[in-house]
Every structure is written in C-alpha cells, then in structure tokens.
Amino acid sequence: MGKATKRNRNKKKSRGSAGGPTSVPPNHNVPSTAADTSTSSSAGILGRIRHGDPRVRLGALTALSATVLSADVLSADADAAAAAASRNDDIMGANSSRSSKNNSNKKNVSDGLLKAIAERILDPDVPVALNAAGCISNYTQFSSDVEDAYDFSAGSGSNIVRNSSILAGIGEVLLGRIDKCRIDIERMGQGLAAAATVTASEVAAAATPDHVEEADIMDTADANTTDTCSKNKMRKKKKKTKPTSNAVTPHNTVEKMMRSLDQQWVLANLCLTALSALVERSPTALERLGGDGHVSLINDTVGILSLAAQFLTTAGSNGGGVIMDDATTKSVSDAASSSARCIHSALDENLPLLRSLLSTPTALQTLVSTIESGTMPSLARLHCAGALVTCRHLLPRTAS
C-alpha cells in the first residue's frame, strides 16, 4: 500500500507540472537577466499599445502617462541627469558630463516605445489619441534627451542625445494629427451651427401648438358648462396635453457634438504644445522637416489660429446660433496660444520657413488680424507679434 500511494503522488505531481496556474516552467532554475526582463516588459507594453482593442490601448497609454511619461517622473529624471552631469563635470570634465546626460533617459524611454506611442496619436479612437498626445507632450517638454547636445570640444554637432530622425518623425506625426483636427473642427463647427439652428426652430414649433390646443380646450369646456361629463372629458384631455419632448433629442445631439468638438480642440492643443517644445528644444528635428514640412507647419498652425479666431468671435458675440461653454472656450484659447507659440518658435533663425511664410500672404494676414483681435487670448497675440518681429529681423537676409 505504501508503494502504491507514493506512485499515485508522483503521478499527481507529474500531471501538475505539465501546465496550469501553479505549474513551474521547465527552465525555472535558469536565472533571467536584466536585459531579458526589460525586453519582455518592452514587448508587452508595445503589444498593448498596438492592441486591436481600443480599451487595451487606452489602458496602456494611461498607465504610461501616469508613470514613465508623466511630467513629474520626466522632470525628476532630468534633474537627476543634470546633477550627475554636474558631478562628473567637476571630476572628469565636460565631455564626461555630456556623455552621462546623453545616456540618462534612454533606459526608460526607448526608440521603439516612442514610435509606438507616436503611432497612436493618429488613432481613430479620440481618447486613445488624447492620451498618446499627452505622453508625447510630456516627453518633448520635460525629457532631458530631447535637447540637442553638441560636443563643443570636438568642434562639431554630431553628439545628439536622441536620434533626430526619430524626433522629426514625431514632428511629422504631430503635424498630421493637427491637420486632421483642423479639418474635423471645421466640419464639427458647421454641423454644430446647423444643429443649434434646427433645435431652436423645433423648440419654437413644439411650443406653439401646445398653447393653441390648450386655448381650444378651455373654450370648449366653457361652452359645455351644463354637461358635467363633457367637462370631465375636457379636463382629462387637458391634463394629457403636455409640452412635447421633441426638443430633448436635438438638444442632446448638440451637447454630444459640443463634447466632441471640445475633445478635438484639446487634442489640437496637446499636439501643438508637443510640437512647440520639440521645435524649441531640438532645432535639428525642425531642420529635418524642411520643404513640405514647412508648408504643413504654416498651414496647420495658422489654420488652427484662424479657426480659433472664428470660434472665439462667435462666442463673444453669441451669434451664429452656437454658444460655447466655458470649458470649450478655454480649450479654443489654449489651442490658439499654442499655435501662435509654435509658429513664433519655429521662425527663430529659420530662413527657409520665413520664405515659405512670405509666399503665403493669407498666413501673414492671419498673424496681423490676430494681433488686432480683441477676442483672441493675450498670449496668442503676443506670440503673433513676436513672429512678425522675427520676420522683420530676418527679412534682409532673405535677399542674400
């Protein structure tokens, strides 16, 4: 009996090791290296970012925006890198400090992760795109490996913290999303104005028949005062006659359209903020855009600026049947300021971009009208003025 019991126990153990929640992997005694762990972790997060279910993508990007790519974490990493660079500079000299700074953040934000997040900025699911744009916006603003770092001792600018082609690729993706936001905002604005007009007319049409019908009921009831049954019928009919709920559905439609419009303005603002930081901190990324990239930069930034002026003018005059709430008005103002900041920063010592701007008279007129507008935010007007001053400063050099 004892041997049979031992055999049964051995069989159960062998079955348990074949698989299941508590099974032990065959190579359990082989220690995993740090590289294996980071590779599997990176592959896992990349898989979730590129997952077919938008809820999985949203969860992964939300987690990244609260951890590795949060503003606090990136700022802390940048401060730590600066402190380490300062210590190395005191001990070993400037070259070591730049090398330490260059390698500070690459362990946390790999090229593959940046590419995967940038892809999601163009995601058709707007919440996913919002979170991806927020991650990239935090990265371009606060990460220390965005800045161009030059090896001055070598007399060249080849020592770049992050591959500029990757940053330029992020810039192209941001421009693509800004252009889509501009098209969607224009379309939604037209639809919202039409829906608001229809809602107002339906409310008026629904209210008028009710009053007429109630008046007819009262006249009929007064004419039949001798007939008690008739009076009771009229009272019941009057109670049943209530204002119709036809105006509820169009009103809800307008609210949904307003929320969608607000999301597009927030998304445009995030992309413009990220692009502004990228332009300001990595000129080499801006140089790689060049050509058609300059044309897109002008068309998208000035296009958002022009749309913001239209929406804010409409909100200020309460005209056109569209009245924006405070949240949407703030989103529009923020996007306008970020757009003006982007074109202002991009023009700094950028003769090719200035030539593209001079060949687009409508863009220059938009900058001038923004400065003169009383409804545009002060920050947007200030950046537009700065952009024109920069143009005036660079103008003599365009002839050479």
The pTM (predicted TM-score) of the whole model is: 0.73
Q: How confident is the model at residue 129 (pLDDT cuts 50, 70, 90)?
A: very high
> Is the model more confident about 70 or about 94?
70
Distance CA 311, CA 262 (A): 12
Q: Which residues of 103-131 are buried (b: 16+ CB within 10 A; e: fewer)?
A: ebbeeebeeebbebbbebbebeebbbbbb
The pLDDT score that the predictor gives to residue 300 is 94
- What is the mean predicted confidence (pLDDT) over 59-74? 93
Distance CA 229, CA 376 (A): 66
Distance CA 303, CA 365 (A): 12
The pLDDT score that the predictor gives to residue 245 is 45
- What is the mean predicted confidence (pLDDT) over 350-355? 90
Q: CB atoms < 10 A from the CB of 373, how many?
A: 18
> Is the model more confident about 399 or about 221?
399
pLDDT mean across residues, the chain: 76
The pLDDT score that the predictor gives to residue 376 is 95
Report CA 160 to chain centroid distance, whole Å. 27
370: its two tokens: 């923004």
